[in-house]
Amino acid sequence: MTTKPKGKSLRAIDLYSGVGGWSLGLRLAGIEVVASYERWGIANETNFKNNHHQAQTVDIRRLELDDLPADIDIVVGSPPCTQFSFSNRGGSGDLKDGLKDVIKFLEIVEHVRPKVWAMENVPRMAMIIEKESRKRGALHRFQSLGINSRVLNLAEFGVPQRRMRCIAGNFNFDLLDRYRETTPRLTLGQIIEALREKKLVDPIFGVEIAANELTDHVPEEPLNDEEVRINRAAKTTHTVYNAMSFPDRKDRPVRTITATCTRVSRESIVIDCPEQPGKYRRLTVRERASLQGFPLSFQFYAESYSHKLRMIGNAIPPAFTYHLAHALVGTQAEKVRALKVVGTEFKHAVPLAKSAPLERAGARFPLKRRFKFAIPSLQLKSGVRFEVSNRVDVEPVAWGVDFYFGTSKSIVSLRLDDHLQARLLKRMSRDLRTGVDSTLEALVGFLSGASFGDMQRIWSHRGPGATTPFMLLDQLDQAGAALALIFTKHERYTLAALHDAIQEEHGAGYADHLPGVNKLTRNSALIVAGLLVGSTANLHLEGNGIQRTRRIKSAA
């Protein structure tokens, strides 16, 4: 247990402190935060005005160890996680550069020699710590600091969010685990509804605040039809990642709150619009902050909307750091006061922060605006998909359908062209061809009458036109679903046609060894439907003067 003589508070410093998520949690647990260190100036302003301690704007990599305060009992912090996150280029960030901040953090711990310390980062950090702590690893020299790490779900510690984080330190993790038994679980819906009540009571900290003191709770305008379509597709039929709910479910903790998101990004949390039934909107700044475990009275001082989102998304939730702080000092579970008890000890900063101008739906987009969506009826999990996309690096912009399968490290494609279409049709029996023709004729009728030359201009909101990209996607979706249903009764044909297509593209000796080919075989009806729909579409897209050069990543 970490203790001080009676009447004296334990002293802590907060590294890579952001807006003060660590500092607030420690302060509510009775720990004095002597100083915090962060390179982003406006985050320091927010930290200082809310937590009332010395918040220094500094590049911690260049921080002189001798400039740190003496007699420090606790060191906490959250070194930047960008290089370690799988959201950064699929996990291909510069690990060596990212480790510089982790090493600096541990050098400070080594120099200050606190009784206990704790560090937070993305889940991947647990594996990196294990690997780099071995002989000849970058962190091996810090073994004397007693490094342990676990990946925790912060939803189990009072945060209404499924936020998985690696926590490393030299404290009693088993004691922290025991706090989960008495910590209430909160949902997205509970937060949303609490902020709609006439009597505003903080759903986490239990404090009642006046309506005129609730800042940053201005709803955006609802998503328009195009934004709803993009959000739904990005979440439910993403071309690579697994599906998620649309709109987000309110009966469970929310998904991870991120530092950046747009009105049409996969990361955005989208809810049924309480103010306008039948519509959808993103979360307000205040809803995001509450879901990150901040009190309703915590103020965020930034002039731009994106800066406020970044402040909140990068923070460590103080509802969690409060519990972690008690584990650092060894408080037994039965003696940890509930957040709704200690919440009365936090007073809002003065002056109240001003709400930032809201983001609005895009009126116009770049002429090179990209489009890439999977055809819903022709998609399997694990990256097997037929997708409609545009190539903006050629003139004119090229539109077409591509087919991908394989693994993340070995993506394979088949050319969807007139040659493939002819081979697929030639293999069909007369009876099967009769059943297929009506669906193909309907698709060809649409493709022949469509105005594909204007599609990029429409997609960029630069002018009117008769055919939108989503109209094309919907027609391909309908045709794909219809053909897949027909082909389910003709397995002999689909297996032979699929095998023939793969051999034609990749050679007879290699076709059976392609990654993911067994999955294609198990779903041959759907795959052959996609091959026929895609090759038919590309024939007509190219017939409109759009020459599409495909990018094929072979497994070879």
Q: Which of 81, 166, 261, 273 is catalytic?
A: 81
What are the structure tokens assigned to 25, written together? 């949690």
Phi, psi for 316 (deg, rounded to 5): -95, 130
Q: Is 166 a catalytic residue?
A: no
**Percent helix, strand and coil across the chain, each to the nearest 5:** 45, 15, 45
Q: Residues with Cβ < 8 Å from 372, sequence gap 6 or more?
A: 239, 387, 388, 389, 390
At 430, is the secondary structure helix, strand, or coil?
helix
Beta bridge partners of 301: none
Q: Are strands 74-77 and 11-15 parallel, antiparallel or unpaired?
A: parallel
Question: Tell me, what amino acid is at 223?
Answer: L
Residue 32 parent element (H or E): strand 32-38
Of residues 314, 322, 161, the one with CA closest to residue 250: 161
Identify the sign of the CA torsion 203, 208, 210, 213. negative
Helix ranges (DSSP H) in 52-198: 95-112, 124-132, 173-178, 188-194
Cβ burial, residue 209 (10 Å; 0-12/13-18/19+) = middle
Q: Are strands 385-391 and 398-407 parallel, antiparallel or unpaired?
A: antiparallel
- The catalytic site residues sit at 81
